[in-house]
Amino acid sequence: MYAIIQAGGEQVRVSAGDKICVEKIKGDVQSEVLLDKVLVVSKDDKIVFGRPYVNGASVKAEIVETGRMPKVLVFGPRPKKAHRKLKGHRQQYTTLKIKEIIA
């Protein structure tokens, strides 16, 4: 059994026991989160597509950890000028462990 969910602005295929890394979700470590934006659910050769989401379907997950990704450097020179700018960005993320899929 698997499901395709929308979490943190991206679509992820999950099944029970998977660990996924998504953009920051509010919540404490080792707390449960209910993800209700389920796009597709597959169970025993039956596939249910949502329009846009599947009614009554959700995914239970546990927050394993939160953190920040490695720094990404952005360098922006201006043409024909002596102007240079260096910026850095660290995206926050949450690691989730999928407990069960409720269809």
- pLDDT tens-digit series, residues 21-56: 999 999 999 999 999 999 999 988 899 999 999 999
> Distances in Å between the alpha carbon of 97 and those of 23, 57, 83, 84?
14, 18, 46, 42
Give the bridge partners for 13, in sequence order.
4
Query: What's the whole-number mean pLDDT along residues 71-90?
Result: 89
pLDDT, position 63: 95
The verdict on pTM exceeding 0.85 is no
pLDDT for 35 equals 92
Sketch the domain layout of the chain as residue ranges: 2-102
